Structure 1
Amino acid sequence: MANFLINNQDTVSAYGLHFLKGTYSQLDAMPELKDNGLSIDWASEDGTERYHGEKRFQSITYNLPCAILATSTADYEQKLRALQNFLITAGEFTLDLMGRYRRFKLSYQNMTGFNRIGNNAQFTLVLINDHPTEYFTIPA
């Protein structure tokens, strides 16, 4: 069984896309708390007086280290174009971590540090999680 799925497609079969070391640590990151504007730092008192009611969180930006591995130049071009077309046309999509039974709803932001080496490429896929506190289950 594939470890990563994008919109229920195996990332390796569909795009030759492999997630590299550091992916899990990115996806395990906690979201930053939004400033609710209801805190006061009194000059004459220690600490800060804060409202601890309903909390809201910032979107999380993930920098996922990736590689496209291909067997030939034609295979590389096909896999890269398929991934690029998907990222350009997709709005929000799902990324499933099958080994952890975890689903993320993400949006594409950027592809940085692109480095092609022969029929392979390494890059960082920058994705946005606008649902940082929600846990989505993977349907059976």
Structure 2
Amino acid sequence: MFVPMKIDYGVRILVHLASLPENSIVKGSEISKARHVPEKFLFQISNDLIDKNFIVSIRGPNGGYSLKRSPSEISIAEVIQGLNKTMAPVSCIEFPDLCQISGQCSQQDMWSDVEQALVSKLETITVQDLADKDKSFVSADSISKK
């Protein structure tokens, strides 16, 4: 099971914004460079993050992106759901009508339980949690380079 790049990049964008002082405005190119998110995808994903009220876009020469909500109030589960992605590990959990053996499959309950465990865990992790952890990596990295 792989996390789609759209979700990975979306979380990177949010963590970057959460790592900065509150109400910071950052250009997309800066986020792209700092978080290794291709600019083409950054702008596409940012539009989705704007639509879901995670971030705002400020136009103009001093414009860029800023968090719309407190990062401590944004769970990773909410980000995934906001980017229109399921956390179901198999398609039959989300689309049971498309499965020929739905309701008669010994695996369906197991995969449903896996999805619920994943959702439960990701609901407890916030963008701020990841930003705090990110800061500890940056601090450790700067210490090791001295």
TM-score (norm 2): 0.27
Larger radius of gyration: 1
Q: Which structure has the highest strand share of the two?
A: 1
TM-score (norm 1): 0.28
Q: Which structure has the highest helix share of the two?
A: 2
